[in-house]
Structures are given as structure tokens and as C-alpha cells.
Structure 1
Amino acid sequence: MANRVALIDYGAGNLHSVHNALNAVGADVKVTADPEIVRKADRIVLPGVGSFKACAHGLEGVPGMVDALTERAEMGGAPFLGICVGMQLLASRGLEHGATPGLGWIPGEVRLIIPSDPAIKVPHMGWNDVAIMPHARGHPVVEEGEAYFLHSYHFAAEDPHHIAAMTDHGEGLVASVVRGNILGVQFHPEKSQAYGLETLARFLEWNP
């Protein structure tokens, strides 16, 4: 089991909590903004807190980082986990504070949550169910459970087969996306207690 994990530092992630959670499940974590470390990593975790636009610009602002992520994960097959806005950055574009290109690894766009019932509050904040899509049952990482969410925008994936799990907040919202070795979760595993730690532990064992 190869567990050299590159935790990407681009000024937009909940690094301390994610680092602690990965350490707790046995990962050898390197917090890094160095593309060369990313190219040598066994696994990659991209966290993200804040707006899509700020996170996208922050990631683009690290010289060589997007190229290294693309080479090692999108093209090279290294297991990749995007957390919260780190998941959203997998999309083609985000619409927060204007349209901003994403990595484009999983086609779709990130849109404002607009509940049909005005009594439903935005942001979607707190504990909620993670319900696995029928085609994703048995996935090695994503399982049914309850996780902690905090977001005002949601990932609208173009291909339903890229949606691994859903949650409900007045409407169905994507809780997880997956395409091959690329995995994203909208919830915060580092804040989701046993369920979150178990998710990270399964990620470390995952060999897509």
C-alpha cells in the first residue's frame, strides 16, 4: 500500500484539519506547493474552502501546479481526492462571482443552491446523509453514511454516471463525484468524525 500523500497547499484549504485527519488514518502526508513533490506522490488530496473563483485563481497562481496535478492524477492515474471546493474545481467551470474555468476533469458546472422551498436555508450547513447512487454501490471509497457539509454552491455534473453519491437539502445535491481514479466529495471528511476518517482510510487503500 503506497501512502505518500501530497496535500496541496495553494492558500485555499483547511490544511491543518485535513492533515491531522490523514495522519490519524496512517498516511505519510506532505503539505506542499511544489509540483515536483506532486509528480512523485502516490496519492493527491486537494482541499478547498471559500469561493470557487478564489480557489481556482489560487491554484493557478502556484507555478506549475495545475500541470503537475494533470500529469500525475488526470493522466498518470494516481488516486486523487478533492474535498469541498477541491471537488468543485474538478468541474468545467464555476459560476460563483462570475464564470471561472475549473480543471475540467469531470464535465459539469458549479451553481448556486436555489431550493424550491424558500424556508430551506443556504448555505447547506451541518450533518446530512450521503446516499450512494445505484451504479456506484460497491465503490471502494464512497459508502452510505452521515457527513458534515458546508457549501452554498453545488456540482451539477453533465454525466449522471460521474455522480457517486447524493445528499438532500430541499433538493438532491451531489455529495460525491468519481471518474476512474479521480474522486471528489462535497462534504468535509476531516469534520465528519468516524465516517470521515473511514472514508479517508478507504482512500488510502484504493487502487483504481
Structure 2
Amino acid sequence: MSYIAVVDYGVGNLKSVSNAFAYLGIETKITGDPDELELAQAIVLPGVGAFPDAAEKLRATGLDQSVVKQGRKKPVLGICLGMQLLLDRGEEVRPCPGLGVIKGVCARIPTEEKLPHIGWNSLTFPNRSPLFEGVDEGSYVYFVHSFSAQHTDPDQVSAVSQYGVPVIAAVQNGNFFGCQFHPEKSGETGLAILQNFAGLTR
């Protein structure tokens, strides 16, 4: 049976991601088992909450190494906190190492706008990624966050939004993809992005 693994490491937002893929007719399995990550066609690393708590849970279960290992041979998508965990380190609450597969630091958005940033914002694409195939420049997606990727490699930035300052909305490095926004809550645009991700397994 082919499926996309949704990594369960003790932080929320698993079901809404799984439900969005189910709507598209794509099989998922919510799991914290490294063997099931090995058998999956692709992996989604979701998450809501604080960076250090999530990073420590990943390390405590050994799932940090499993996700990095699997990303060498299959697509991995980090969503919101999951994207932030792909970075070199986080500065939320206290400095903490991330998975180090995307260059950059997770830090508070340096904006004068109200935080958390909650709402719909449009995307521009400095570097085209297969994740956004068929998605028009200016399409709107849904954000809920106070922290974002900063000090990144410009070549790894695939989408940018604006919230008083430019905000990195998506990244890619090889098989590792990240969305700061929630595609599972972003209507038809978000579903198209998830469909594109699933299509990378073919």
C-alpha cells in the first residue's frame, strides 16, 4: 500500500493535514514509527507550538534522524512549525538546533504589525518550485505564526509573503520542502500545493 506518512511526534495538527490529503483521495498514515517512514512514498512534518519543545520531542524519539535520512531519497514537507524545524536552529524561547537541512534561523518576525500573524496573505515566487506548479503569483494562503525563517540562502526561498516586512513563506532544498503557511487550511490553492507534493512521489 502506498501512502504519505504524517509524522506524529507529540505535537498537533496531524488530523487536519491527513484530512486534506484524504479529500484529494491520497492515502496517509499518521505514525511515529521509523519503519513506516521508511515504507512511505513521502513524509509530512506538521506542527503547532514552540520550536524547542518540538525539536526536543523529535530528538527524544529519534525521529529527527529518521526524517533527515528519508529526505535523502523521498520528498519531505514541513508545515508551519514543521518547516521551522527544517532550519539550522530556532531562537524561540531559547536557542535550539533544528534539523539543519534548510539554511536559516527561526526567529520572531521583525515587523511592527501585530503578532501573531493570523490571516490570508499573497505569495510571490523568487525561485520556482514544483510545489507551486500551476499556482498563480499573488495567490492567497493562510498563516498563523509569530516566528519565521530568517538568514536563509536566497536560492532556497521558493515563496515570499508580506506582513509589514517580507516573510519567507516557503523553502526548498533538494527533497526537503517547507511551507510557513497552512496549505491544509488554504482552500483550493492549498489543495493544489498538497496535490503537487503528492505528485512528486511518481
Do they fold alike, i.e. is TM over 0.5? Answer: yes
Q: What are the Cα deviations for residues 64-112 of structure 1, in whole angstroms up to 9, with x where unaligned?
A: 3122212211x2x201110000000010000001100000001110111
Contact map agreement 1:39 1:71 (CA 8 A) in 2: no
Distance verdict in 2 for CA 1:105–1:124, change over 3 Å: same
Q: Which residue of 2 aligns with 1:67?
A: 65
Letter in 2 for 1:132: F
Q: Distance in 1 between matches of 2:25 and 2:155?
A: 31
Q: Which residue of 2 aligns with 1:196?
A: 190
**Selected match of 2:120 from 103, 113, 127:** 127
For the residue of structure 2 that corresponds to 1:184, the secondary structure is strand
Q: Which residue of 1 aligns with 2:33?
A: 34
Residues 8-157 of structure 1 aligned to structure 2 (within 5 Å): 8-62=7-61, 64-73=62-71, 75=72, 77-115=73-111, 118=112, 120-133=113-126, 135-136=127-128, 139-142=129-132, 143=135, 144=137, 145-157=139-151
Q: Distance in 2 between matches of 1:182 and 1:3?
A: 20
Letter in 2 for 1:81: L
Q: Distance in 2 between matches of 1:147 and 1:60?
A: 30
Structure 2: which 5+ residue stretches go unaligned? none
Contact map agreement 1:106 1:157 (CA 8 A) in 2: no
Structure 1: which 5+ residue stretches go unaligned? none
For the residue of structure 2 that corresponds to 1:92, the secondary structure is strand
Q: Distance in 2 between matches of 1:87 and 1:6?
A: 16
Contact map agreement 1:21 1:197 (CA 8 A) in 2: yes
Moved over 4 A (4+): none
Q: Distance in 2 between matches of 1:150 and 1:35?
A: 29
Contact map agreement 2:80 2:180 (CA 8 A) in 1: yes
Alignment length (residue pairs): 198
1:159 aligns with 2:153: yes
Q: Distance in 2 between matches of 1:180 and 1:207?
A: 14
Q: Distance in 2 between matches of 1:183 and 1:32?
A: 19
Using the size of structure 2 for normalisation, the TM-score is 0.93
Using the size of structure 1 for normalisation, the TM-score is 0.91
Q: Distance in 1 between matches of 2:179 and 2:91?
A: 19
Identity %: 40
Q: Distance in 2 between matches of 1:40 and 1:56?
A: 23
